[in-house]
Structure 1
Amino acid sequence: MTPLGDILLLVGWVVLWYYLLVNGVYLLVHIAALYGLRSDLKRQAAGTIFQRFSSPFFPGVTVVVPAYNEEAVIVESVQSLLNLNYPKLEIVVVNDGSDDRTLSQLRSAFDLRPIDAPVPFDVPSEPIETVYQSVDATNLRVIDKENGGRADAVNAGIWLAEQPLFCTVDADSIIDRDGLLQAVEPFLEQPEETVATGGTIRVASGCTIENGTIESVGLPSNPLASLQTMEYLRAFYSGRLGLDRLNALMLISGAFGVFRTDLVREVGGYETDSITEDFELTLRLHRYLREQDRDYNVEFVPEPVVWTEVPESRTAFSRQRRRWYRGLLDTMARHRQMVGRRRYGSPGLFGYPAFLLAEVLGPLVEGLGYVVVPLAFATGAADVSFVLMYFGITVGVGVFLSWFGILSEVWSFRRYDQPKQVIRLLGMGILENFGFRQWKTLIAWRGLYEYFRGDTSWGEMQRSGFGGD
């Protein structure tokens, strides 16, 4: 065996053991998620939704919808918000300098009229040009402002919000009718401690949507969207729920999160120079509150569901995931002081290291293994048994964790209630290991290169609308 072969085989073993370590962390999080689901299901069984939400003290919520070139989905999205079952609701759509028909569609659909709304002088956003209010739905306002990016648009909505809580929702998303009630529940149970909650994100492609309401749940016909459906189940029902139960929830998704308005204003709003501003804000809240020794609660609530579009082309998917990875690196670097420090509690001692091992380094190390192990075999350093063991373990563990997430769905809320849907999801849990996962590691490596090159581009996702596949 040559020295090069020795090195390749050693690297192969290191990658394999690292893979087992990372997936051991994933397994711990998944087990915690199952215990969390069991507790939530027991609580639901104790009474109906009307009994659970009988309190007359619901805090008011402002739903902030940032919109840039969303003409294909904006009317349906706003209509879904107007259909929400919530007693005190304000909807603020922020048109972030769109150069398509987003604003004209809103003006036509909801009979918007300009109003003299007071604009705070310290609002951390690009200039606001006009504020509109709907004649038909008086709780709907639309802010028309100069383009500044998603975080800038959300900040404009937060500073003009009039309610103690605000909810961020992407314009390509539809919330379940009772979703906001469920997301606010922790604020009723622990009104002093709860500062933020997040819900589950699911794929809207393949669903039947009428007048902003999900009429029936289906799976996408597009293979790439189907793979993402299975991914989202694993990420939310296993990943985020498990981290929540370990008191280490690191991310409230920008597609659906509820926050205390005063606290987010207190920390300065969203960072406009971050490309994963939702992740950055969640970590900043953890740091800020821990450094002030304040008791607080950041919670994931699995039952409220928001349905969103996902990329259906390889180009759009790659662009989205590269942006996510660059943003992950940027946010982790900004808050690196948290890692391993008791001062930051579970987020610093477990959440941050877990993200570093699994989300930052995991795909890079896995991608390295896909190159090193075949080279080790080609040079004679690794025999057939090692190669089969390597790929057998990586594929086997991957399938197991994917099926774990699908099991959580089948055992709990059963949105996909047809046997053929469950079988198809299980099949996707197998198929993703043959090409899809390898491609995602390549995307991560490219994202790493773009990060060091200083690329901060956002990219634009083409919307197909909620008309189905």
Structure 2
Amino acid sequence: MNLPHITSSLFAFVGYILLFYMFAVIFVYTAMLIIAFLRLAKERKLQKNLADEDGVDFIYTQPVTIIVPAYNEQEGVLGNIYSLLALEYPEFEILVVNDGSSDGTEALVIEQFDMKPLKKVIHLQLDTKPIQAVYQSEIHPNLRLITKENGGKADALNAGINVSKYPYFCSIDGDSMLDRTSLLRVMKPIMESNKEVVAAGGNVRIANGFDIQMGQLVREGLPTSTIVKMQIVEYMRAFLMGRIALSRFNLVLIISGAFSVFSKKLVIEVGGYSTQTVGEDMELVVKLHKAIGDTKDKKEIVFTADPVCWTEAPDTFAGLRTQRRRWHQGLAESLWLHKKMAFNPKYGLVGLVSFPYFLLLELLGPLIELVGYAYLIISLFMGEVYVVFAGLLGLTFLLYGSLFSMASVLLEAWSRNTFPKIEELISLVLLALTEVFWYRPATIFWRVEGIIRALRGKREWGHIKRRGLSEDND
């Protein structure tokens, strides 16, 4: 057998492997889309407003601490706080944790809300960088500011847990805002489960370009930035399709750190947020799953699509690159730290299904897709037979990378009446069809960078310039 024939056979074999992988991915995502559709169809029949009114009395005895880690968030922290103060929830406290900001975050909050120093005994249940001062608002007694040495987001959250006084805590990013009923709705699965649900994550949506005043959404509308609009599509696919389906079987390994609620007792038992990974939110969820599997408790971690957290998305390629490689690095680190859970029947479906899904599709997916793009290009120069391979592979990329995104946009519009203007819906659908040609290849490279950074042990978060959520930021 000559060398050209061996090379040709090997190339064909790689093509079959890539096609098999992509068909498997398409099958999995099709199943997830169907599950999400059935779930949303059921929820669509509910009268949400009546459910909210009934919930107020039901959860009256379950107060919540809202923890806002803030590092150089002067552009958006006031809007964040105003949105939290307006929440329709019986009893809650707000802890803004100033994690050694070098800008005017601390002074701005102190001045705006008339903060005064507060003497408070802090129970150090989790190790953190030293807390320097605690302030309480004279205007809103349930609002406090914690000033501490810089230790990173995970350390700031742990400090907030130490200071908190309620049995559940909600973490929300300093550049994000909640709808008035969001906390009420994200807490409902926890309360209705009789303590079987120990954590819940809410839906995160992009608000760049919206008209926001005093932390309240006045007018929605699509931003003019193409890169931001593409992220809107991506968020719909990730949250509306992926996490709804995984939550149906208690397989969620990621609930966004931008908006999630946890049982404080269980979080303290597993050691709180880890400062040794850049993906502290996922790492905590995986630790909770491990603790549940070790004790054989019937506990659940869920995602609920209805409560909405509005956040600011990167509006430059540089900022998006920093964010995506950090997210993927966090995924790699969390899966590696808890690798003994993978394919382990001790952890039930989490070990046998969820871990393989996140390992083979989410973590290694970018590497395989990168090989696929290279294979597609090389195939065009390898002869007629390989052009057929290239065509099949290109169709699977189009189906996986664009059509599922388009389906997610349509699912969002159908289930939640998100786009009252038909031109906005058409704009996003058409944009979704272009994803595979420019946006997805870029994010693939950035996610591969995240894997490389994880292998090299880099811990830098990187910097994303924030503009603050306002009418002009699109």
Which residue in the other structure is 1:333 paired with?
Answer: 336
Residue 191 of structure 1 corresponds to which residue in structure 2?
194
* Alignment partner of 1:291 is 2:294: yes
Give the match for residue 461 of structure 2: 458
Which of 93, 96, 121 does residue 93 from structure 1 map onto?
96
1:211 pairs with 204, 208, 214, which one? 214
**Matched position secondary structure for 2:87:** coil
Displacement of 1:118 in angstroms is 1.0
Aligned to 1:350: 353
Residue identity opposite 1:164 in structure 2: P
Structure 2 alignment gaps of length 5 or more: none
Is 2:227 aligned against 1:224?
Answer: yes
Shift of 1:377: 2.7
Whether 2:166 is the aligned partner of 1:156: answer: no
Contact 1:34-1:242 within 8 A present in 2 as well: no
Would you say 1:423 and 2:436 are equivalent positions?
no
Aligned-residue offset at 1:280: 0.5
Q: How many residues align?
A: 469
User: Hey, what does 1:20 align to over in structure 2?
Assistant: 23
Query: Normalization by structure 2: what TM-score?
Result: 0.95
Give the secondary-structure state (helix, strand or coil) at the position aligned to 1:386.
Answer: helix
Structure 2 CA distance for aligned equivalents of residues 116 and 348 of structure 1: 46
**Superposed CA offset, 1:139-179 (max 9, x none):** 00000000000000000001110111100000010101100
Structure 1 counterpart of 2:408: 405
Stretch of structure 1 that moved more, 150-159 or 214-223:
214-223
Can you list the C-alpha shifts for 1:235-278, whole angstroms capped at 9, x where unaligned? 01100011011221111110000011111111111001111010
Out of 324, 334, 339, the residue aligned to residue 321 of structure 1 is: 324
Amino acid at match of 1:8: F
Q: How far apart are the structure 1 equivalents of 2:25 and 2:391?
A: 20
Kept after mapping to 2: 8 A contact 1:217/1:416: no
Counterpart of 1:153, as a letter, is: A
State the identity as a percent: 37
Structure 2 counterpart of 1:112, which letter?
M
Amino acid in the other structure paired with 1:315: A
Q: CA deviation at 1:58?
A: 4.1
2:372–2:393 CA contact under 8 A, matched in 1 = no
Q: How far off is 1:117 after superposition?
A: 1.1
Q: Distance in 1 between matches of 2:61 and 2:226?
A: 42
CA-based RMSD? 1.6
Residues 74-100 of structure 1: CA distance to partner in whole angstroms, max 9, x if unpaired? 111111111111110100000000001
What secondary structure does 1:113 align onto?
A: strand
Once the two structures are overlaid, the 10-residue window that deviates more, 43-52 or 206-215, is: 43-52
Output the TM-score relative to the length of structure 1.
0.96
Q: Does 1:368 align with 2:371?
A: yes
Question: What SS is found at the alignment partner of 1:412?
Answer: helix
Deviation at 1:329, TM superposition (A): 0.7
User: Is the CA contact (8 Å cut-off) linking 1:80 and 1:212 kept in structure 2?
Assistant: yes
Shift of 1:381: 7.3
Unaligned runs of at least 5 residues, structure 1: none
Once residues 433 and 330 of structure 1 are traced to their aligned partners in structure 2, the CA distance between those partners, rounded to angstroms, is: 27
What's the CA shift string for 1:387-406, capped at 9, x where partnerless?
A: 22221221133332112211
Cα separation, 1, equivalents of 2:271 and 2:187: 23
**How many Å separate the matches in 2 of 1:140 and 1:255?**
19
Q: Distance in 2 between matches of 1:211 and 1:161?
A: 25
Distance 1:23 1:300 in 2: 22
